[in-house]
Homo-oligomer: A and B are copies of this chain.
Amino acid sequence: MKIDKLEPKKISIEDLAIFCKRRGFVYQSGDLYGGFAGFWDFGHLGVELKNNIKKQWWKFHVVQREDIVGIDGSIITHPKVWKASGHLDSFSDIFVVCKKCKKPNKIDKSEIGKVKCDCGGEYDEKNAKEFELMFKIRVGGEESYLRPETAQLIFTNFKSVQESARMKLPFGIAQVGKTFRNEIAPRDFLFRSREFEQMEIEYFIKPKQDLPYKIPNEKILVYSSSDQEKNKEPIKMNFKDALKKRIIKNPWHAYWLAQEFLWFKNLGANPNNFRIRQHNPNELAHYSTDCWDLEYKFPFGWKELEGIADRGNFDLTQHEKFSKKDLKIVDQETNKKIMPYVVSEPSLGVERAFLVFMFDNFFYSGNRNNVVLKLNPRLAPIKAAIFPIVKKKKFEKFADQIVKDLKQDLNVVYDRSGSIGRRYARNDEIGTPYCVTIDEESLRKNDVTIRDRDTKKQIRIKISQLKEKLKDLIDGKIEFERIGRLVV
């Protein structure tokens, strides 16, 4: 059998959207009525991929760590939260129109008087309009808002969580949940939408507390603000070296940037498509003293995946001031009360991670002329497809039993129709890592053939071992070639 080499396939964001719609990953919300800009519905495969991304994020950031616990705050909360956080007074965009080319655009408040249109024309700043980015809502008699970030729910619950989970600094609080921003111009498929899901950690330390963890030995493209100013290219270097050379000044930032990069890399993203970029002083959010973005090379340019920002103690101090409640915690070493600092807040959009894993795993099989989605088995929506090679009652009954047993623990499908080649192709296209076929021999010998999506290799294995081996393969605990006897 000819080995079928897979080639990475570059596709545009528009083509990805078409693929996602056709294959049941993502639909435009309200599609029946012409669609509703900035809102997306995840289909039967999209919901599984999205859930797997969230599950893996939670495992890496919460379950596997001793220093982070999770919460799940409400989307609508007390309006004073948004007053204290500063969102109510400053979370808005300025909408301007170019005097020359008449194109509308969105700028930041800090850019007024500074920036010009791409065509070189000046913006009509007299007629600039301010757009509140928070969605307003009336609850009972009060005006409230849909949260524009998950972070504030972490800050308002900080003291309660610290006490009931008995956390000691340094520690983090994680949250995954929906967030809403009334974007003027949602665009680029899932990249900028009005409703999205954030996976976020606020990581608290004592002021100037040392990093107790090792910085992983990993390389990445580093783009400092001074290199950006001088129009230099980013340089590939080790996170540790970037710290030694004082490009990254805070060891905590180096640590968290490396963690976040590693999360993507371990789940099968292409490390060459990532870089870290330092914010310029005028880009910094109102609460932040330093910020690095983990960026990804999208088909439409390098864009932010997550910001690793130093928020200081701005938020807790604000909530203390507005609520008149003591949010400080007792330092067990000195017995003094301290207000913790947020040294970093890894904050990632689920949908942006979704795009990364789609783009980096989009491959093409030259021989067989179809898409192969090389998703990491932990992320793949369907873990295995099972099909009888012959369409006969006795095979189908036999396959039924296998599917039923596997489905107790794994999301597998029973694929009944079409030629074997067609069934392989269909499953390659949606990222199913393993196909299990049942043939004449299976009935006599109680074994089946498993085929690996990426190498096309096939192995014969006893049915009694099938579930455990599949689980080990999915968890990356065993290599495919070691699960049994290679037949192709």
Q: B-contacting residues of A (Cβ < 8 Å)?
A: 21-24, 27, 29-48, 50-51, 58, 62-66, 69-78, 80-81, 135-140, 144, 146, 153, 156-157, 160-161, 164-165, 173, 175, 178, 180, 182, 184, 194-195, 319, 322-323, 325, 403, 407-408, 410-411, 413-414
Ranked 9 nearest A-B pairs via Cβ: A30-B78, A24-B164, A44-B69, A32-B323, A42-B72, A47-B72, A36-B78, A39-B74, A41-B73
Looking at the complex, which one of B27, B36, B70, B72 makes contact with A76 (CB distance below 8 Å)?
Answer: B36
Task: Indicate if the CB atoms of A139 and B71 lie closer than 8 Å.
Answer: no
A33, A45, A140, A153, most chain B CB atoms within 10 A: A33
Task: Indicate if the CB atoms of A29 and B77 lie closer than 8 Å.
Answer: yes
When A178-B178, A403-B66 are in contact, do A30 and B135 touch as well, CB less than 8 Å? no
Task: Indicate if the CB atoms of A77 and B44 lie closer than 8 Å.
Answer: no
Task: Indicate if the CB atoms of B81 and A33 lie closer than 8 Å.
Answer: yes
How many identical chains are in the complex? 2
Task: Indicate if the CB atoms of B30 and A195 lie closer than 8 Å.
Answer: no
Task: Indicate if the CB atoms of B32 and A194 lie closer than 8 Å.
Answer: no
Task: Indicate if the CB atoms of A140 and B73 lie closer than 8 Å.
Answer: no
CA of A42 to CA of B160, assembled, Å: 11
CA of A410 to CA of B46, assembled, Å: 26
Chosen A-B contacts, 11 in total, with CB atoms closer than 8 Å, are A29-B73, A29-B76, A33-B81, A33-B322, A37-B140, A41-B72, A41-B153, A41-B156, A44-B161, A51-B58, A64-B408
CA of A77 to CA of B28, assembled, Å: 10
Task: Indicate if the CB atoms of A40 and B74 lie closer than 8 Å.
Answer: yes
CA of A66 to CA of B45, assembled, Å: 14
Task: Indicate if the CB atoms of A71 and B41 lie closer than 8 Å.
Answer: yes
CA of A27 to CA of B157, assembled, Å: 8
Task: Indicate if the CB atoms of A44 and B164 lie closer than 8 Å.
Answer: yes
Q: What residues on B are CB-neighbors of A407 within 8 Å?
A: 63-66
Among residues of B, the one whose C-beta sits closest to the C-beta of A430 is: B164
Among residues of B, the one whose C-beta sits closest to the C-beta of A327 is: B32
Looking at the complex, which one of B32, B48, B71, B137 makes contact with A42 (CB distance below 8 Å)?
Answer: B71
Q: Report A113 CB to chain B, min CB distance, Å.
A: 27
Task: Indicate if the CB atoms of B138 and A136 lie closer than 8 Å.
Answer: yes
Looking at the complex, which one of B140, B194, B319 makes contact with A139 (CB distance below 8 Å)?
Answer: B194
CA of A32 to CA of B413, assembled, Å: 48
Among residues of B, the one whose C-beta sits closest to the C-beta of A23 is: B164
Looking at the complex, which one of B75, B78, B165 makes contact with A33 (CB distance below 8 Å)?
Answer: B78
CA of A322 to CA of B178, assembled, Å: 29
Looking at the complex, which one of B35, B74, B180 makes contact with A78 (CB distance below 8 Å)?
Answer: B35
Q: Report A63 CB to chain B, min CB distance, Å.
A: 5
Q: What residues on B are CB-neighbors of A160 within 8 Å?
A: 21, 24, 27, 31, 43
Q: What residues on B are CB-neighbors of A146 within 8 Å?
A: 137, 146
Q: What residues on B are CB-neighbors of A27 within 8 Å?
A: 157, 160
Q: What residues on B are CB-neighbors of A135 within 8 Å?
A: 137-139
CA of A161 to CA of B24, assembled, Å: 7
CA of A12 to CA of B344, assembled, Å: 41
Task: Indicate if the CB atoms of B144 and A77 lie closer than 8 Å.
Answer: no
Q: Report A51 CB to chain B, min CB distance, Å.
A: 8
When A33-B323, A77-B39, A160-B31 are in contact, do A136 and B137 touch as well, CB less than 8 Å? yes
Q: Report A172 CB to chain B, min CB distance, Å.
A: 11
Known: A33-B80, A137-B137, A140-B182. 17 other contacts (CB 8 A): A27-B157, A29-B77, A30-B77, A31-B157, A32-B78, A36-B139, A40-B74, A41-B77, A42-B71, A43-B164, A44-B69, A44-B164, A48-B70, A64-B407, A66-B403, A74-B195, A76-B195
Q: Report A20 CB to chain B, min CB distance, Å.
A: 10
Q: Report A233 CB to chain B, min CB distance, Å.
A: 39
